[in-house]
Each structure stands twice: as structure tokens, then as C-alpha cells.
Structure 1
Amino acid sequence: MLTVLAGCTGNDNSLPSAQFVPIEEGPGPNYVIGPLDNIQIFVWRNPELSTSVTVRPDGRFSVPLIDDMVATGRTPTQLARDIEEKLSQYIQSPIVTVIVAGFQGPYAQQVRVVGSATRPQAIAYRANMTLLDVMIAVGGTTEFAAGNRATLARVIDGSQKEYGLKIDNLLKDGDVKANVKIMPGDVIIIPESFF
């Protein structure tokens, strides 16, 4: 039995510690709009057409004069040009600005936390996101979580790979080596302890 356990520890499925660099806040110019994002649409010289909407789960939204326009997969600038094109049927030379006010991002750009997190959920990925950022967003782990047996599932070149995480070491002991970089699409699975 000891030989089998020793063999398991030799498997290096660990991630390097995160390098701390300045974090970009909010969506940048290349942000791609996703379902449930909140977008603010400003139409210059036409305040009655300016509005704030949430992108529906099907990726579409509706505003005055425009029904069921696709927003997902578009940058704010691309969407603004699309809206200008539609509005040009009704007003002369519309100038539109789109701002993402609340963002979830496309599903492939979210980080999912399942299992024994205080609030399991999907989180919008941010540049330079770390495991600590994710754990703060989900409120940490439950009292019955086995944080040091958690795994991170990541798709690399079309195949899924799993890595061991040491969440308890990070949250309870302050071990910064356990703080790893998170990538868009990562899934963190936190099991319960066996007691």
C-alpha cells in the first residue's frame, strides 16, 4: 500500500505560483460581450434612444427601434457600429457608444467554482486573475471543504488536464506558493472532507 501512495505523489500535476503584476480593472478595448453582461448604449443627440440593457442568455438584446440584436461575440466598438448601422434607417448619422457596465463575459471566458465553496458560481475572468482572487469572489470554502484536495480542470490544446490545488494552504496558512494563475475557462472543483 505504501508503494502505491508513494507512486501517486511522484506525479507532478502542479501549477507554478502566480506572478504578481498590475491588474487591469474591467473590460479593456478587446473585451468580448457575453450573455448577462450589462451594457450601456449612448446615442449622441438622441437621449431617448440611450439606454442600459442586460444581454439575454441567448446573446441578444432589444432597445428602442431595434429588436433582437446579437451582442455576444462582439466588442463594445463593434456593437456600437452595428447599432449605428441599424439606427441609420431612422436617424441621420447616428453616433453610438457602448460601455460594458457589468460583465460576465462569454462562457468560455468565465471561471467556474463548484463543490464546497461558500458560494459556488461562475465568475467573469479578469486579466492576471489568481486562485486567491477567485476564492475571495466565492467567499472561501465551507467548513467541510477539503481545500487541499481541490482540483483545477483546464483545457490545453483541446484536451483537459487536471491540476491539484492547495486552497487550505493558501487561505488558512497564507502560503503564497499555493496561489496560482487562473485562466479563462478554468473549472475549480472543491470536494468535501471525509471527516
Structure 2
Amino acid sequence: MTLRVFVALAPPDAAKDELARVLRPAYARYPRLRWNRIEDWHITLAFLGELPLTTVPLLRSVLADRAASHPALQLGLRGGGHFDERLLWSGIGGDLEGLHLLAADVRELVRSCGIDFKDRTLRPHLTLARSRRDDPTSVPQAAAELTGFVGRPWKAERLHLVGSNIGRGPGPIRYRDIEAWRFGDAIRAQGSSAPAKP
């Protein structure tokens, strides 16, 4: 048995709701776009592809440790763009240096588990919709309408290991958390056990 797997961050509900309100006119204006479900919005740090289920326990251990020792990241959703006029996204602002360092750490940990994957350049974004092959204009137009959007800052509180059903039938893509770990648990534990200052 295999599962398509990636490691990601997810915006909190308030940030997703804020962007969804901004997108409401686009939902009506571009009905032929295949819009992602809001609950599936995520920022991919490492796409690992199709993996045997036996690799998941290995990933759980190293990712849990990494999340526990890493502080939460301050991020925000901002603007919009597209890849090849086919994929609509919202951009990511905030602590991008920290985001890139976290992604590099995650990818190195995955490799340390003996898992081979295609190491694509990180381009932090939140995928919103995909166009149909006969619709080359909706995605660029929708992206242009997002240009001035700047969402409120938020903290990425958890590191998510996610599985998807891509390639498993004609229905829409669905994602589910295999597991998620809170950032900074080890840091908080050290702070609470530190002796009181005189």
C-alpha cells in the first residue's frame, strides 16, 4: 500500500476566512475554475510523492522532534499570482527566511530517513484553484484581482504530515492530516523547567 504524502503548514481558520471573503466575487466571476476546498488550503514545505505506508512511522518520529524544537513562524497571506496560467495562488509574507530554513530542515530530515523525493525549489504559496485546459484567461484575471490583498499576520502553530487521494479516481482532490505537531513544545518545556531568577 502507498500514499501520496507531503509536509506542510496550514493557515488558521481566521486567515482562511479573511481570504475567502476577498475571493467571494471571484468564485462567482470564474465558475469554471476548479476551486480548492478552504479546509484543504496549505503551504507545502516538501512534496514527497507516493510512499509506502511503512515509511510513515519514520517520518512521524523525526518531524515530531523537529517541530518541538522549532519556534512558531509569523506569516501572512498576501497578493496573488499564477503558474503557467493554470494554477491560481495566494502569496506568503512574513518570516520567509524562517520558512525557507524550516523547509530545508524538513527536507534534510526526510532524506535522513532514506526517502528519495524530487527536491523542487520552494516557492511558498497557497494553491486556490486550477483552470480547465480550454480556459486560459480565468486564472491570470483572478490573480490580478488579488494583487493588493494583504492579510492579517498569523502564527503557523503546527507542522503537518498530509496524505492525499490524487490519482485515486475522478473525484476532487482531498487531503487529510496523517498527523500534526505543535511547534515549540520542547522550547516551552525548557522554559517552564528553568530555575527562577533570584
Give the alignment's TM-score, normalised by structure 2. 0.23
- Greater RCO structure (CA 8 Å; 6+ sep): 2
Give the alignment's TM-score, normalised by structure 1. 0.24
